[in-house]
Amino acid sequence: MKTQISPGRLILYSLLILMVIVYLIPVYMTIITALKFPEDINLLTSWDFPDRINWGSFSQAYDKLGPNLTNSIILTITATILSTLLGSLNGYVFSKWKFRGSETIFTLFLFGMFIPYQIILIPLFQVLRALNIYGGLPGLILAHVVYGIPITSLIFRNFYAQIPTGLIKSAQLDGAGFFRIYCRIVFPLSAPGFVVASIWQFTQIWNEFLWGICLTRHTSNPITVGLAQLAGGQAVNWNMPMAGSIMAGLPVVLVYIFLGKYFIRGLLEGAIKE
């Protein structure tokens, strides 16, 4: 026997579908515009599916953005690995090796997560210049690793809090030291923590713009800067910036779609756990 759909359910689903349309409109527009020829893009048919498909937009956009994509991949992977490892160590200390003042230090760390980055921009230049790493990816990686410390430490600290302290204590009694406990007990249990933290860092670093435009020379520009360049000039041929947007957006959207559960966990971490 089929259950009847109640009017309440009907309203619920129609509202949901309406909202889905609202949220997907920009994607639809991006895809169809990217597939059009520049001369086919005009006001009256802007919502229509293209009559003839122009895959060339993507290769054209790739010609311009290819180097930026490479830079972003190198940057994101390196900075993500470094900052999650650092965060894991910090989280381990903050949760299992508390000492006098460690809570205060942790709080001071957290503050670094919330500053508007304009406040550190001018000295950041001077320090990168002094270290002779301004302009290339190493400087950008350093910035992302340093300013990633607060959030990764927070994620791992909260994650390790779930590991029973008794486990640590008994290992200590067995004579295991700081590193052995980390390698034998804590690290093997860390996989979900690493997934949450690295997804978070991956999206943050991939999407970052201000440092990208301020700290790198042309050949080291990440994808966001490349895209802003592509779209910011002569905004007449909209198919190219739209194809570029797809290229710049796809990696993070894919990560989000396939690992959404962890993405949301990273999201809630900062807001609810405390």
- Do 216 and 136 meet the contact criterion of CB atoms below 8 Å apart? yes
Nearer to another protein, 155 or 227 (CB): 227
Nearer to another protein, 164 or 177 (CB): 177
Closest approach of another protein to the CB of residue 167, in Å: 15
> In this structure, how many other beta carbons lie within 10 angstroms of the beta carbon of residue 139?
22
Q: How far apart, in Å, are the Cα atoms of 267 and each of 22, 41, 257?
A: 23, 38, 14
Q: To which residue do tokens 């894991």 refer?
A: 88
Closest approach of another protein to the CB of residue 144, in Å: 11
Closest approach of another protein to the CB of residue 153, in Å: 7
Closest approach of another protein to the CB of residue 70, in Å: 15
Beta partners for 216? 135
Nearer to another protein, 56 or 231 (CB): 231
- Do 205 and 80 meet the contact criterion of CB atoms below 8 Å apart? yes
Nearer to another protein, 58 or 134 (CB): 134
Nearer to another protein, 59 or 98 (CB): 98
When computed from its CA atoms, the radius of gyration of the chain, rounded to whole angstroms, is 24
Closest approach of another protein to the CB of residue 210, in Å: 6
- Do 134 and 128 meet the contact criterion of CB atoms below 8 Å apart? yes
Long-range contacts of 176-181 (CB under 8 A, 24+ apart): 178/97, 181/96
